[in-house]
Amino acid sequence: MVVDPYQKREAKKYKNPIPSREYILLCLRKCEDLISQKNLEKKFDINNQEEKRALRRRLRAMERDGQVVYTKNRCYISPENLKVVKGKVIGHRDGYGFLRTETLKDDLWLSSEQMKSCIHGDVILAYIVNDHRKRRNSARFLKLLEPNRVLIVGRYYINNKIRFVVPDDTRFSFKIFILSDIKQDISVGSIVVVKLKQHPTRNRKIEGCIVEILGTEMGTDLAIDIALRTYSIPSLWSEEIKTQIYKISNKINQCDFKNRVDLRHLPFFTIDDEDARDFDDAIFCKRKEDLEEGWNLWVAIADVSFYIKPNTPLDKEALERGTSIYFPSFVVPMFPEKISTDLCSLNPHVERLCLICEMSLSNTGELISYKHYEAIICSHGRFTYDEIFKIWNGDILLRAKYKKVLTDIENLSCLQKILSQDSISKKGIYFENIEPKFILNSNSRIENIYQNVRNDAHKFIESCMILANIASAYFVEKYKHPVLFRNHDRPKKDNIISFRLFLNELGLTLSGGDIPESTHYSNLLKHVSDRPEYEMIQTMLLRSMKQAVYSPDNRGHFGLSLSSYVHFTSPIRRYPDLILHRVIKYLLVKNENISIGHYNFDGSYLYSTSEMKKIGAHCSITERRADEANRDVVDWLKCDFMHKKIGHILNGVISNVTSFGFFVRLNQFFIDGLVHIASLDDDYYYFDSLKLKLIGRSSKNIYCLGDTLQVKVISVNLHERKIELSLYKS
């Protein structure tokens, strides 16, 4: 029997003495993992029922006094050994999950048993357990902090009169049993929206009620409806918002011009994609008129803050949405159309209120000085990127059509050549992504796909917007007022090491030592720009980077190699830009004594750092939400398109390698499909996670990133958005 140094004292007090509190705590501290009462009984050599009951009473008293922690799976642990963390649950289709925290580098494993107490999207309190078998730390459920109250989209089925819904999102790896009365007939296989009636527990089935029937036949519209509900994206306008919008005048009044700089005589242009619906930025540039060489550049941004006041219904809804979402055939705008496509859209030949960032540039494109002010402009033309690019390259018909403004368009070309060589372009990491452009038919389904090539006009407008963002960052940083910076942190050390191992396989190196700078990455991309593996290298570099976020803590923008960066140029579609406009106006009034006629100086535009943190975290989340929702719809469109290509033989390149196979990007359509490892029947293949290769154990045959090959389209799963390929052997 284990000797308890405190037990003599206990023997004087009790007829059947049990281990003391001190000794129980000592044993629990030595045992880092959980231990049940049964195992404690064995450890203390307790056999008779009376002693077992006494031990249970003592443990409960210790739990009441906070000396031990009693967990949900009926085990005990010392509080000193309990590493408690808060995190968000990430479900997996196979029943297990992960816990993502803000403090730990890696996600924690949640077993399928632990997932019986929580679902994907829950915020929970858990404790960390060292799991040597899995070579990673696990999490054990302690407490539900914030349940995921999202409505779940799924398909409706009946089996032996039992009605249930299988979630469309495979991260919810459970059936939802429908127990409430259904007043209307629902066809088996219908796509429905379910609200959970209660959260899961170990011994209870998950129940819910159907709140909406979306349809039975999948199409683009239904794919968008599913995405909107899956990600809880608001898409309708409340009556309160409609009332506020109605009260906003359809016309600009002369009193609105008060204290604004009149720039209607300057030939501003909007330059956007052909299918753009809102035009929130316009530019104009000209050579300096004095003896000093260089350029003056005006970037005019729609003055959304003039119409959208803080804490109004429109403002609160815009914050909730965070960003506009541009699906292939549908837009979920941050503001109603009266704002986004009318009053705050810089349409040609109409007067519009703007916030201006006027910049003085050197002859080499360096930013010398800047100033912000309110103005009124009148766009002299709406151009597409392709039109400007063709005019720059001598298109006779277009040059004749726009003869009156040709000199101003040529000025843009001259400045573009300078900006393409400036220091910003040299230092920052610029990606030349191959993006597919979808041509949709009348049913909003893909009819054709081609490569969307970024020409010099795209790059020029991007450079102008970056310059305006930089100038705005300098301005707000000067006054140290809370604002949302666009932060892009440097890559993690482990990611740098993995990326370098990948480069070594290609005979390449990344300079810069242990802490490479942006210029080192930029130089690498320039060095490999002519290599066939360029896209693959660029993809792996992008994967090694962190995601950009919004925060009032300025940490700089690693990708652009800038010490500070903000978003100024898109207040119609990004809420952080709207906040920045408000802050700039406040600073102009307070610190630069610039009179702004309509500005109500009552503190409305003041934001505290804590408010900024909350808004920044929320806007970062809504940005990811928009990307994921759009990706879901695009993936469905791709699968719908490829369904007609089953049996086709196509050329492609390996774009990703995993433990379960490799993905091949089809050259003709820029779409990825999976060659599953099970289909590689010529050998047993193992996965090299460091070098991202599948290697044949006997043949030593290798499949790695960048390999070109022929594949056959085997199957397409529209429900799971998966395209299955196999190697084609002629």
Average pLDDT, the chain: 89
Rounded-to-integer distance, Cα 400 and Cα 380, Å: 16
Q: What ranges in 480-608 are assigned the alpha helix state H?
A: 493-505, 518-527, 534-544, 575-591
Q: Give the DSSP H or E segment for 466.
A: helix 456-479
- Residue 305 located in a structural domain: yes
* Rounded mean pLDDT, 231-248: 95
pLDDT at residue 1 above 50? no
Q: What is the residue-wise DSSP string for 347-375?
A: -TTSEEEEEEEEEEE-TTS-EEEEEEEEE
* Rounded mean pLDDT, 551-563: 95
- Residue 589 located in a structural domain: no
Query: Given 146, 177, 195, which residue is the final one in a domain?
Result: 146
* Secondary structure letter of residue 269 according to DSSP: B
Token pair of 494 as six digits: 């482990």
357-385 tens-digit pLDDT? 999 999 989 999 999 999 999 999 999 99
The dihedral built from the CA positions of residue 686, 688, 693 and 696, taken in this order, carries a sign that is negative
State the pLDDT at residue 564: 95
pLDDT at residue 450 above 80? yes
Q: Are residues 378 and 412 in the same domain?
A: yes
Query: Given 80, 107, 135, which residue is the final one in a domain?
Result: 80
Rounded-to-integer distance, Cα 522 and Cα 519, Å: 5
55 Cβ neighbours under 8 A, 6+ residues apart: 18, 19, 37, 40, 41, 44, 46
CATH of the domain at 67: 1.10.10
State the pLDDT at residue 3: 52
Q: In what order do the strands lie in the sheet with 281-287?
A: 261-262, 367-378, 351-361, 295-302, 281-287
580-604 tens-digit pLDDT? 999 999 999 887 666 554 444 444 4
pLDDT, greater one: 728 or 427: 728
> What is the domain count for the chain?
6
Percent of the chain with pLDDT over 70: 93
Please state whether beta strands 261-262 and 367-378 pair in parallel, antiparallel, or not at all (unpaired).
parallel
* Rounded mean pLDDT, 114-118: 90
Q: Are residues 75 and 91 in the same domain?
A: no
Rounded-to-integer distance, Cα 598 and Cα 258, Å: 8
Contact between 523 and 456 (Cβ < 8 Å)? no
Tell me which of 150-164, 374-388, 528-542 is least confident.
528-542
State the pLDDT at residue 10: 47
Beta strands in 379-434 (DSSP E): 382-384
Query: Given 479, 500, 519, which residue is the final one in a domain?
Result: 479
Q: Are residues 519 and 384 in the same domain?
A: no
State the pLDDT at residue 245: 96
- Residue 56 located in a structural domain: yes
State the pLDDT at residue 603: 43
State the pLDDT at residue 73: 65
Token pair of 170 as six digits: 């495979």
Token pair of 418 as six digits: 């300078």
Number of Cβ within 10 Å of residue 672's Cβ equals 18
- Residue 330 located in a structural domain: yes
- Quick one: pLDDT band at residue 426, thresholds 50, 70, 90? low
CATH of the domain at 116: 2.40.50.140
Q: Are residues 310 and 433 in the same domain?
A: yes
Q: Are residues 175 and 308 in the same domain?
A: no
- Residue 318 located in a structural domain: yes
State the pLDDT at residue 201: 74
Q: Report, in angstroms and rounded to the nearest whole number, the Rg of the chain calculated over CA atoms.
A: 31
Tell me which of 41-50, 366-375, 405-414, 488-497 is least confident.
41-50
662-688 tens-digit pLDDT? 999 999 999 999 999 999 999 999 999
Token pair of 437 as six digits: 């452009």
Token pair of 389 as six digits: 């690019």
67-87 tens-digit pLDDT? 887 776 678 877 776 778 889
Rounded-to-integer distance, Cα 672 and Cα 727, Å: 14
* Secondary structure letter of residue 201 according to DSSP: B
* Rounded mean pLDDT, 431-436: 77
Q: Are residues 347 and 415 in the same domain?
A: yes
Q: Are residues 129 and 156 in the same domain?
A: no
313 Cβ neighbours under 8 A, 6+ residues apart: 238, 240, 241, 244
Q: Are residues 518 and 429 in the same domain?
A: no
pLDDT at residue 715 above 90? yes
Rounded-to-integer distance, Cα 67 and Cα 88, Å: 28
- Residue 512 located in a structural domain: yes
Q: What ranges in 3-96 are assigned the alpha helix state H?
A: 7-13, 21-30, 37-43, 49-64
The dihedral built from the CA positions of residue 527, 531, 537 and 539, taken in this order, carries a sign that is positive
How far CA 538 is from CA of 430, 525, 575, 656, 665, in Å, comes to: 10, 7, 30, 12, 15
6-16 tens-digit pLDDT? 454 444 444 45
pLDDT at residue 447 above 90? yes
Q: Are residues 65 and 194 in the same domain?
A: no
* Rounded mean pLDDT, 647-667: 94
pLDDT at residue 233 above 90? yes
Of 5, 9, 63, 74, nearest in space to 37 by CA: 74
The dihedral built from the CA positions of residue 113, 119, 125 and 129, taken in this order, carries a sign that is positive
pLDDT, greater one: 106 or 151: 151
278-301 tens-digit pLDDT? 899 999 999 998 767 899 999 999
* Rounded mean pLDDT, 87-116: 90
Q: Are residues 446 and 426 in the same domain?
A: yes
Of 358, 342, 343, nearest in space to 266 by CA: 358
- Quick one: pLDDT band at residue 205, thresholds 50, 70, 90? confident
Identify the bridge partners of residue 162 per DSSP, sorted by sequence position: 159
pLDDT at residue 265 above 50? yes
pLDDT at residue 391 above 70? yes
Location of structure tokens 């925060």: 551
Of 153, 6, 169, nearest in space to 90 by CA: 169
Q: Are residues 253 and 348 in the same domain?
A: yes
- Residue 569 located in a structural domain: no
Q: Are residues 402 and 539 in the same domain?
A: no
* Cβ neighbourhood burial of 268 (10 Å; 0-12, 13-18, 19+): buried
State the pLDDT at residue 291: 67
Contact between 138 and 113 (Cβ < 8 Å)? no
pLDDT at residue 396 above 70? yes
Amino acid at 259: N
Location of structure tokens 């151009």: 383
Identify the bridge partners of residue 591 per DSSP, sorted by sequence position: none
State the pLDDT at residue 72: 63
CB-side neighbour CA atoms (13 Å) of 122: 25
pLDDT, greater one: 615 or 436: 615
- Residue 485 located in a structural domain: no
Of 303, 308, 333, nearest in space to 245 by CA: 308
- Quick one: pLDDT band at residue 32, thresholds 50, 70, 90? low
**In the chain, how many H helices and how many E strands?**
19, 34
Structural domain including 98 reads 83-146
* Cβ neighbourhood burial of 696 (10 Å; 0-12, 13-18, 19+): middle
- Quick one: pLDDT band at residue 619, thresholds 50, 70, 90? very high
